[in-house]
Amino acid sequence: MTDVLSAPQGRFELARRSVRRNDPLRAWDAADELALAHLEEKGLRAAGQVRVVIVNGGSGALAVALATLNPVVVSDSYIERIETAANLERNGFDPAVRFVDPLSIPEVSIGSPIDVLVVKIPRGAALLEDELHRLAPLLHRESVVVGAGMTKRVHTSTIELFQSIIGPTVTSRAVKKARLILTKRDPGLDAGPSPWPATLETDAGTLVNHANVFSHERLDAGTRFLLSNLPGGPLGEVVDLGCGNGIVGSTLARRDPAARVTFVDESFMAVASARATFIANGGDPSFGRFVVGDGLFSADGTAAAERGTVDLIVNNPPFHDDQSQGDEIAWQMFTESHAALRPGGELRAVGNRHLAYHAKLKRIFGNCRVVAANDKYVVYSAVR
């Protein structure tokens, strides 16, 4: 669904790229509106040549409204890149905005020192912490630093991150349940390097977790249950779909060193974590493939696997994205898995019991069996 954002910078048609039917969510929120109004008050459009950096911009509302300033967009999400490019094109702007993933900063320069930094507050504090550590050295004394978020994401700890890493910080009043964090760069403040990634030693193996990986402080229970119910024997072509830190695919590679494992996730940090986890657990890099994309078959034509060629897909699908919950992402993953598997190939997936994936898998594959179940999780097997 396309909606019109009215901002001081103009009127813009924006849409989310959603797998949900009749998606009720808009491609922007009140925090975007508040940030754009603040930047207009600061006279940004009349400021001449400035280096603008937008972080965690979602579907691209900020990038579109500030497109004439040629912003750099920092995002860990492949899907956010697709949505932002589509919305830029929808409004007549060049969709080839410079996108940068957080892990490439500061190794890959984003240009001149940052004059205006706008950070949408993400769900996870660890991601924000990592991003601020990476961006702080690129700011100067006169940089305009704006954090923007809905009040449910702006906590005392959020404000403390800006203050401890960048400099003196105040907040705006709340407007439509949104709030700004306004920070001045303290050139004398050196917060040091980011504490991420973190390496965890577990009974399942070594986990290397970047800041935006799901359950980055421990091995999550669903993955642990899947690990205890993986198939054996020669594995052939394997895909760890929605790989997170890659421990499932790495475990399969350890069991069958001849297996060729592809790790797929829409998060750049997840794929980087999977690569590091794979190597930390003795994986041969020549037998691993690491793909950032929107599932197995991305909208830009990137394919993580050829149709009808994969022997085994392992999957712990998320049942929520940044703003909503549902089984639409799982449905997409299951449907793409059916297309990618060879005849006789298997999807081995885990899910929360209440999500009842059995019915969905049986509808797609024509079959499904329960491999194992406990009070909270179920491991399913569906064969093409």
Rounded CA-CA distance 75/86 in Å is 15
Kindly state which CATH superfamily the domain 2-14+23-183 is placed in: Vaccinia Virus protein VP39 (3.40.50.150)
Whether the pLDDT of residue 46 is over 80: the answer is no
More reliable by pLDDT, 377 or 325: 377
Note the pLDDT of residue 303. Answer: 78
Amino acid code (one letter) for 59: S
Whether the pLDDT of residue 47 is over 90: the answer is no
Residue 320 banded pLDDT, cuts 50, 70, 90: low
Note the pLDDT of residue 107. Answer: 65
What mean pLDDT is predicted for residues 280-285?
93
H helices of the chain, in order, are 30-41, 61-65, 78-90, 125-135, 156-165, 221-227, 247-255, 268-280, 328-340, 357-365
Q: Which of 224, 281, 270 is nearest to 245 (CA)?
A: 270
pLDDT in tens, 347-366: 999 999 999 999 999 999 99
In this structure, are residues 337 and 315 in contact, taking their beta carbons and an 8 Å threshold?
yes
Whether the pLDDT of residue 142 is over 70: the answer is yes
Rounded CA-CA distance 94/4 in Å is 19
Residue 316: both structure tokens together? 């712990």
Residue 80 banded pLDDT, cuts 50, 70, 90: very high
Bridge partners for 98 per DSSP: 72
Amino acid code (one letter) for 149: G
In this structure, are residues 185 and 141 in contact, taking their beta carbons and an 8 Å threshold?
yes
Bridge partners for 3 per DSSP: 14
Note the pLDDT of residue 184. Answer: 98
Note the pLDDT of residue 2. Answer: 77
Rounded CA-CA distance 123/142 in Å is 28
pLDDT in tens, 267-276: 999 999 999 9
Rounded CA-CA distance 357/351 in Å is 7
Please list, in sequence order, all residues whose beta carbon lies within 8 angstroms of the beta carbon of residue 109, skipping any fewer than 6 positions away. Answer: none
User: Exposed, middle or buried by CB within 10 Å (0-12, 13-18, 19+), for 354?
Assistant: exposed
Q: Scanning the structure block, which residue is given the tokens 């924000």?
A: 128
DSSP 78-126: HHHHHHHHHHHHHTTS-S--EEE-GGGTTTS--SSPEEEEEEEPPS-HH
pLDDT in tens, 203-245: 999 999 999 999 888 899 999 999 999 999 899 999 999 999 9
Bridge partners for 379 per DSSP: 350, 372
Rounded CA-CA distance 59/308 in Å is 32
pLDDT in tens, 180-197: 999 999 999 999 999 999
312 phi and psi angles, rounded to 5 deg = -145, 130
Provide the 10 A C-beta neighbour count for residue 15.
17
Note the pLDDT of residue 17. Answer: 80
More reliable by pLDDT, 301 or 367: 367
Residue 10: both structure tokens together? 């103009």
Residue 199 banded pLDDT, cuts 50, 70, 90: very high
Report the SS3 class of residue 206. Answer: strand
Q: What is the pTM of this model?
A: 0.94
Report the SS3 class of residue 12. Answer: strand
Note the pLDDT of residue 21. Answer: 57
Out of 24-28, 117-121, 201-205, pick the least confident.
24-28
Domain boundaries defined on the chain: 2-14+23-183, 198-383
Top-ranked range on mean pLDDT: pick from 102-106, 305-309, 323-327, 368-372:
368-372
Domains 2-14+23-183 and 198-383 share a fold: yes
Rounded CA-CA distance 372/90 in Å is 47
Note the pLDDT of residue 373. Answer: 98
Note the pLDDT of residue 317. Answer: 94
**C-alpha gyration radius of the chain:** 22
Residue 19 banded pLDDT, cuts 50, 70, 90: low
What mean pLDDT is predicted for residues 36-41?
96
In this structure, are residues 316 and 347 in contact, taking their beta carbons and an 8 Å threshold?
no
Q: Scanning the structure block, which residue is given the tokens 């959603």?
A: 18
Percentage of the chain with pLDDT > 90? 83
Degrees to nearest 5, angle at CA 81 with 217 and 20: 80
Note the pLDDT of residue 326. Answer: 63
Note the pLDDT of residue 169. Answer: 99
Topology of the domain comprising 198-383: Rossmann fold (3.40.50)
